[in-house]
Amino acid sequence: MIGRARQFITAAILTLGLAGEAAAIDLNDWNSVVAEAKGQTVYFNAWGGAENINAYIRWAGDEMKARYGVTVVHVKLDDTAKAVATVVAEKSAGKDHDGAVDLVWINGENFAAMKREGLLFSPDWATKLPNWIYVDHETKPTVLTDFTIVTEGLESPWGGAKLVFFYDSARTPTSELPNSAADLLKWAEANPGRFSYPQPPDFTGSSFLKQVLTELIHDKTKLQMPVDEATFAADAAPLFAYLDKLTRLLWREGKAYPQNYPDMKQKFADGELDIIFAFNPAEASAAIANGELPGSVRSFVFSGGTLGNTHFVAIPYNASAKAGALLFANFLLSPEAQLHKQDPKIWGDPTVLSLAKLPAAERQAFEALDLGVATLGPDQLGPALAEPHPDWMTRIEAEWTRRYGAAN
């Protein structure tokens, strides 16, 4: 019985699908996209772990409803891989149209995986969005390459990220702050049990490993290519020699780790950790404003540079409201939405736009933003180090688990 139902439904989907194909989206005629989007509901799959981000997405959704008659539903995920899993399940069930995910907040490995498995809406759509003209693809190369994987316009940039460290100036003297990974090891020797990083494969924790790897590897160009298995042991040796020394000096002597950034932030607030780090320079200011961290918290970076990257939105190949998703992605890229997002009182996420390309009024509004007491200005953030190829993350996480995955 189920088999017959399935046949029937497959047939129905195919019929509907063919009808859908007939009205293919013409990216060169933006007005037709706007017209088709009207009345659509966009299911935006995005991490739902932070109240301020959820509030921002709510605001953007309300604007979409008011301006274009597009309904945006925020599908709150605890992990972006869940949205990828949904698309995988749909593909394995042959559901190539009317998928449940219309737009997904994504970057790094999840993007690499979706691109590799052919799960993304595939024409080069991002660079054809009207607001693309403001995007800073000249000085921010991470807008075009997501962890070394060329985006090919398959995802639209949404916000910037930069690895930044936080400390409490009431507890830790500014003069003692480390200025490099090697320095940090010395600091940990002097302050055992007061530093840790989220347990890989947590994103922030793995980012710390990549930061150390990038600083210590002999030949940095190797990081821009997939791992060479023949030389991996030698390439990663400085990193693991470093970690062998650091682990005993960590919080709980490396027998347990914070589970993610917010967990690490809570341990910082509880006084268990003295130095933490985040991928958003405004995190500390937002936490101070929120009453989660004391007002004496400040930021610092390594003068040699810290990792920087961009996060994106992408459309699955079988999305049901592609026009609405395109329109929403374009709105998220607008100077107005980007300005609202960079406001630390709202979210504090750095913009992907180039201030130089903006009309004067918008540029001034960006420049007038008060970034908050604990946020470093764009000129103080130091150089951005490129993200290694996703392959490195996978290999290093596996090696980390093998070496440090069973504490005694």
Per CB under 8 A, which of residues 165..224 are in contact with other proteins? 193, 199, 201
Nearest residue to 297 (alpha-carbon basis) of 326, 320, 276? 276
- Cα distance between residue 396 and residue 393, in whole Å: 5
The pairing of strands 41-47 and 103-106 is: parallel
Residue number, 257 or 277, with CB nearest to other proteins = 257
The pairing of strands 71-77 and 155-162 is: unpaired
- Cα distance between residue 351 and residue 67, in whole Å: 22
Which segment (90-98, 132-140, 327-335, 347-355) binds other proteins by CB under 8 A? Answer: 90-98
Residue number, 202 or 343, with CB nearest to other proteins = 202
- In angstroms, what is the minimal distance from the CB of 47 to other proteins? 7
Mind giving me the DSSP string for 20-38? HHHT---TT-HHHHHHHHT
Residue number, 35 or 89, with CB nearest to other proteins = 89
In DSSP terms, which residues pair with 168 in a beta bridge? 297
- In angstroms, what is the minimal distance from the CB of 5 to other proteins? 6
- In angstroms, what is the minimal distance from the CB of 243 to other proteins? 14
Q: Do 388 and 312 form a contact (C-beta atoms < 8 A)?
A: no
Does 303 contact other proteins by CB under 8 A?
no
> Which of 78, 219, 229, 379 touches other proteins by CB under 8 A?
78
> Which of 18, 85, 234, 356 touches other proteins by CB under 8 A?
85
The pairing of strands 103-106 and 149-150 is: unpaired
Does 232 contact other proteins by CB under 8 A?
no
Q: Total residues at the site for other proteins (CB under 8 A)?
A: 76
Does 81 contact other proteins by CB under 8 A?
yes
Does 238 contact other proteins by CB under 8 A?
no
- In angstroms, what is the minimal distance from the CB of 403 to other proteins? 8
- In angstroms, what is the minimal distance from the CB of 171 to other proteins? 9
Residue number, 64 or 358, with CB nearest to other proteins = 64
What distances in angstroms separate CA 198 from CA 76, 244, 404, one per listed residue? 22, 17, 13
- In angstroms, what is the minimal distance from the CB of 110 to other proteins? 5
Q: Taking the mean position of all CA atoms in its chain, how far away is CA 332? A: 15
Place of tokens 């979409």: 64
> Which of 103, 278, 293, 326 touches other proteins by CB under 8 A?
293
> Which of 35, 93, 133, 237 touches other proteins by CB under 8 A?
93
- In angstroms, what is the minimal distance from the CB of 56 to other proteins? 14
- Cα distance between residue 71 and residue 261, in whole Å: 31
- Cα distance between residue 404 and residue 168, in whole Å: 29
> Which of 65, 252, 303, 370 touches other proteins by CB under 8 A?
252
User: With the C-alpha atoms ordered 326, 352, 154, 90, is the resulting torsion angle positive or negative?
Assistant: negative
Residue number, 31 or 408, with CB nearest to other proteins = 408
The pairing of strands 145-146 and 71-77 is: unpaired
> Which of 17, 30, 32, 88 touches other proteins by CB under 8 A?
88
Backbone phi, then psi, for 97, in 5-degree steps? Answer: -135, 160
What is the footprint of other proteins within residues 10-69 (CB under 8 A)?
A: 12-13, 43, 45, 47-51
Instruction: List CB contacts of 290: < 8 A, sequence separation 6 or more.
Output: 52
> Which of 86, 285, 310, 342 touches other proteins by CB under 8 A?
86
Q: Where are the beta strands (DSSP E) in 352-403?
A: 384-385
Does 357 contact other proteins by CB under 8 A?
no
Residue number, 311 or 358, with CB nearest to other proteins = 311
- In angstroms, what is the minimal distance from the CB of 291 to other proteins? 4
Which segment (22-30, 82-90, 137-145, 231-239) binds other proteins by CB under 8 A? Answer: 82-90
The contact pattern for other proteins, residues 260-279, with x = CB under 8 A and - = no contact, is xxxx-xxx-xxxx-------
Does 343 contact other proteins by CB under 8 A?
no
> Which of 291, 359, 361, 368 touches other proteins by CB under 8 A?
291
Instruction: Enumerate the H helices of 117-231 as residue ranges.
Output: 181-190, 203-216
Cis before 201 (ω within 30): yes
Q: Do 261 and 151 form a contact (C-beta atoms < 8 A)?
A: no
Instruction: List CB contacts of 97: < 8 A, sequence separation 6 or more.
Output: 13, 16, 17, 20, 318, 320
